Amino acid sequence: MKQDLDTARALPRDRAFVLQLTIGAAVVPDGFAGRVEHVTSGAAAHFETLDECLGFIARVLHTAARDVR
């Protein structure tokens, strides 16, 4: 039970994202395409590169952190 609580603290739901890759996506920076959605807010974006995907995640987490203050 303690391990479940530790995992829940380490992986909070407000920092969870769903990542859906296109059929032809490759795990390389310029071939990484699909859609990413923030579980808590429902905010979503399509991306065509790893940088776009990570940029969306960073913006959502930055906004969430700012809203907590």
Residue 54 carries which side chain, given as an amino acid letter? L
Residue-wise pLDDT tens digits, 19-34: 999 998 887 777 899 9
User: How much is the pTM?
Assistant: 0.78
Residue-wise pLDDT tens digits, 10-63: 888 899 999 999 998 887 777 899 999 999 999 999 999 999 999 999 999 998
Distance CA 33, CA 12 (A): 26
8 A C-beta contact, residue 41 and residue 17: no
